[in-house]
Amino acid sequence: MTPTAILETALYAADLDAAEAFYGGTLGLVRTMRAGNRHVFFRLEGAMLLVFNPRETERPPGPGGLPVPPHGAVGPGHVAFAATGEELDRWRARLEEAGVVIEADFRWPAPDGAPGPRSIYVRDPAGNSVEFAEPRLWGFAD
């Protein structure tokens, strides 16, 4: 037995309004839950992206609450979304149109001089490194 799927990926942001505008607005992810200044959650296919305010989640649960363990990281984290080569062109255009700076856009080395898989990197408003990449980067089908 080994885990086959990641159900929840977490990022941290102190400004959840800005995070929601980026992930729910610019990226178009479906927001499923917003709990005040504590968290905002987004639903993808079979997986969730959870954005937490570490100042809230680092506190242990209160009396009578569910025993959800505290957590909370500070500093730029990282996430990558899968995208096809054609989608990467559209992501670049959409991000630029939204005023998001393209921090990097390159192809990884590939054998025999073939065009390698492409990655585009931007920052979310909290400074997390957000990548859009072709799944073949890791040997997965696009």
Binding positions for its own copies, rule: CB under 8 A: 1-10, 12, 27-30, 32, 43-50, 52, 54, 58, 66-83, 87, 90-91, 94, 103-104, 106, 108-109, 121, 123, 128-129, 131-133, 135, 137-140
Using CB atoms within 10 A of its CB, is residue 121 exposed (0-12), middle (13-18) or buried (19+)?
middle
* Residue 106 C-alpha from the chain's centroid: 19
**Which residues contact residue 62 at a Cβ distance below 8 angstroms, ignoring those fewer than 6 apart?**
none
Using CB atoms within 10 A of its CB, is residue 56 exposed (0-12), middle (13-18) or buried (19+)?
middle
**Interatomic CA distance for residues 133 and 22, integer angstroms:** 18
Q: In terms of CB distance, is 35 or 73 closer to its own copies? A: 73
**Shortest Cβ distance from residue 121 to its own copies (Å)?**
5
- Which of helix, strand or coil describes residue 130? strand
Q: In terms of CB distance, is 16 or 133 closer to its own copies? A: 133
**Shortest Cβ distance from residue 20 to its own copies (Å)?**
14
**Shortest Cβ distance from residue 133 to its own copies (Å)?**
6
Q: In terms of CB distance, is 21 or 135 closer to its own copies? A: 135
Q: In terms of CB distance, is 1 or 99 closer to its own copies? A: 1
**Shortest Cβ distance from residue 111 to its own copies (Å)?**
16
**Interatomic CA distance for residues 14 and 16, integer angstroms:** 6
